[in-house]
Amino acid sequence: MATEDPAAPEDVLVVRIPLSAPDVAARPARGPDPRAVRTRTAVATAATRLFLAKGYQGTSVDDIAAAARVSKRSVYNNFGDKQRLFTEIVLGATPTAADFTERLVAGLTEAADVPAALRELARRHLATVAQPAVLRLRRLIILEAGRFPELADEYFRRAPGRVIDALTGAFAALHERGALCAPDPRRAAEHYSYLVLGATLDTALFAPGAELPGPAELDRIADAGATAFLAAYRSK
């Protein structure tokens, strides 16, 4: 399941992988072999750390096997090859994004104080995205997008794109009830997202050595983005 302990969210990327190798016949009466689960988890954990630190090209199957303390054959038996392992890790991070998206917009369309709800949403959104492991994954996907264009498209659809879709639905509902003036809710969702995230993400992606803003500064950035959004989209 998760390749990392989710207790340290700023330094950890939570990746969910199938408990059994996809080409192994299911055994519903007995469940997955615990040894196989441990091996897959060890390999995925090691590969995640290495891919984020060294990139796809800079990481070999030998490196992964050594870091996971398993044989090279075990890596191939469980994941087929390095490309398939990389794909599983990238897409394995997206269920976390789905969970976050549901929590992010929960209650927004029924909020009594929409400006306050949008500011709180902005703070949670920026704090979640501006984490070292999340940013390292985004850099890695962008770096490898030319080699794996379909994987990059799918990650975007399942993670950043899912957030935009959820915001679009919420803003459409708020427009309908007269709480926002957002006749084009998709464009409003894009504006909101980039006002809140844009500058911080650009700095982090293009200057990976730069220190991320602290929690208080992230809150100020988020508040300013929400305020700018409301200046344009507040119900007249």
Distance CA 156, CA 47 (A): 21
Residues of the chain with pLDDT under 50: 1-10, 24-27
Model pLDDT, residue 13: 61
| CATH assignment of 1-89, among 3.40.640.10, 1.20.1250.20, 1.10.10.60, 3.10.290.10 | 1.10.10.60
Cβ partners under 8 Å of residue 236, min gap 6: 181
Q: pLDDT of 59-109, one tens digit each?
A: 999 999 999 999 999 999 999 999 999 999 999 888 877 888 888 888 899
Which residue spans of the chain are classified as CATH 1.10.357.10?
A: 94-233
> Phi-psi region for residue 55, left (φ > 0), alpha (ψ -120 to 50) or beta?
left
Considering the chain, tell me which residue range(s) the CATH 1.10.10.60 domain(s) occupy.
1-89
| pLDDT given at position 106 | 86
In this predicted structure, what is the pLDDT of residue 22?
Answer: 54
Whether the model clears a pTM of 0.85, i.e. scores above it, the answer is no
- What topology is assigned to 94-233 in CATH? Tetracycline Repressor; domain 2 (1.10.357)
pLDDT value at residue 20: 58
What's the pLDDT score for residue 31?
Answer: 59
User: Of 108, 135, 124, which Cα lies nearest the Cα of 223?
Assistant: 124
